[in-house]
Amino acid sequence: MTELSSLNIESATQKPSISTGYPPPHVSIGVTTPAPPSPERPVNTIKKISVLPLVFLIFYEVSGGPFGIEDSVNAAGPLLAIVGFIVFPFIWSIPEALITAEMGTMFPENGGYVVWVSSALGPYWGFQQGWVKWLSGVIDNALYPILFLDYLKSGVPILGSGIPRVAAILVLTVALTYLNYRGLSIVGFAAVLLGVFSILPFVVMSFMSIPKLKPSRWLVVNKKLKGVNWSLYLNTLFWNLNYWDSISTLSGEVENPSKTLPRALFYAMVLVVLSYIFPVLTGTGAVPLDQKLWTDGYFANIGKVIGGAWLGWWIQAAAATSNMGMFLAEMSSDSFQLLGMAERGMLPQVFAKRSRHGTPWVGILFSASGVILLSWLSFQEIVAAENLLYCFGMILEFIAFVRLRMKQPAASRPFKIPVGVLGSILMCIPPTVLIGVIMAFTNLKVAAVSLAAIVIGLVLQPCLKQVEKKGWLKFSTSSHLPNLME
């Protein structure tokens, strides 16, 4: 991931490039405009996101800490878990983050990957990208209130089932949705505080474990790889190391995105990988291995063994609050994606409306409703379904990335991966192969549900076009955005 920090930003001294119609990299989006802004986009009053909150928003989009990675040890043993979290970023995370840095600075507007695919393949496929990505994001977000309560129910048993649990899910969803409504700057500040609180107990645990470490425990692997649950292992790695592109839907809200976005992605990459590797090294090296115990929440038990009850409770509290951070970050990306799609005329104009805090309140309500409707699904069903939908969206992104390299080779790219067309194709091959492997391990029930969701999107776009043609709902493209077809 060092490329993200070491590559030079294109400057005026480099060879001429074709303008994409956006303001130049050194100009903050929305500071100077050729025409007065529309009422729905009060650009001069919206505070932009700086590097630090953006790093923690990415951290929560992708990770939120090592909570949930325990299944990798359960499925494959310490050695494969450690190797997985070292190797997997090179196969998947770094290529995805690099593509996000290039495309996000090439198209610095809300909508992110929807705009990339629209520019490369046309608005129909851009809508499909938006549909599967939004749906996978909402499915993902349905997890977090459930996981939050799961971490608390040992101390508050009444939250384990029945009406109290349903009421708690509703109250938590409404409260976190309200924070999103109050503004992205508040969400960013909350992400920093929650992130520090979630990471610190593992820093403490790592130092306290040093006298107890036995490196030989890290080398344990299932004999001849028999008994490895490859489906659980790969899904766990994939779920904990993807979604780097989600931050692109907030590109229009970032201060000086041409520099801020690549830097934030680099810092977040380092933070995420370290937040996985050190807890796994600590947990497997300082405590005798009982592989079947490595399930969700086991780090709290490890904390109690290494540091005492206080550290275990701290890790448990950090796990609960981490789910709040992931909910806030995901909700922000989902709702601003809908705003970006509405500004491009893909959704009714009402989705482009902003509250007085600058937030897309219709998109927030729409996404929150989806979270509540999907909260009845089980954890395993949610992870498998969102992974499959996410894979479909990533295939479209890889195609768009390569096609734009071929179609618009001289277009302005404030951040550019130092490879040509052939290099861009080769870079996309390993993650594409991985997508094929993930799909091969998907059970038929999840595959059928995911395929049905994709088919709905294929039909929904023409239906919305008919609604627009009949004049039943108003659609419009924001005048401040460049024409993608030029």
Name which of 78-82, 160-164, 352-356, 364-368 the model is least confident about: 160-164
- For residue 475, being part of any structural domain is answered with no
pLDDT value of residue 379: 59
Would 481 be classed as within a structural domain?
no
On whether the CB atoms of residues 353 and 390 are closer than 8 A, the answer is no
User: Does residue 455 form part of some domain?
Assistant: yes
With contact defined as beta carbons under 8 Å apart, do 325 and 337 qualify?
no
Q: Is the pLDDT of residue 375 over 90?
A: no
Cα–Cα distance, 349 to 72 (Å, whole number):
44
Tell me the C-alpha to C-alpha distance, in Å, between residue 411 and each of 99, 223, 301, 403, 471. Answer: 15, 53, 53, 12, 36
pLDDT surpassing 90 at residue 416 = yes
Which of 382, 279, 307, 301 shows the shortest CA–CA distance to 73? 279
From the list 203, 253, 206, 191, the residue with the least C-alpha distance to 62 is 191
pTM (2 d.p.): 0.88
Q: What is the pLDDT of residues 181-190, one digit of tens each?
A: 999 999 999 9
What's the confidence (pLDDT) of residue 420? 93
Amino acid 374: pLDDT: 75
Lowest mean pLDDT among 136-150, 178-192, 328-342, 426-440: 136-150
- Residue 483 belongs to some domain of the structure: no
Residue 42: inside a domain: no
Q: What is the dihedral of CA 17, 20, 24, 28, to 10 degrees?
A: -160
Reply yes or no on whether the pLDDT at 386 is more than 60.
yes
Residue 244 is part of which domain span? 51-470
Structure-block tokens of residue 305:
């063994």
- pLDDT tens per residue across span 62-103: 999 999 899 999 999 999 999 999 999 999 999 999 999 999
Q: What is the CATH number of the domain that holds 409?
A: 1.20.1740.10
Q: How many domains does the chain have?
A: 1
The confidence band for 382, taking pLDDT boundaries of 50, 70 and 90, is: low
Residue 126: per-residue pLDDT: 97
Residue 18 maps to a domain? no
**What's at 216, amino acid-wise?**
S
209, part of any domain: yes
Q: Is the confidence at residue 393, as pLDDT, over 70?
A: yes
| 476 within domain boundaries | no
CA 20 to chain centre: 26
pLDDT tier at 384 (50, 70, 90 boundaries)? low
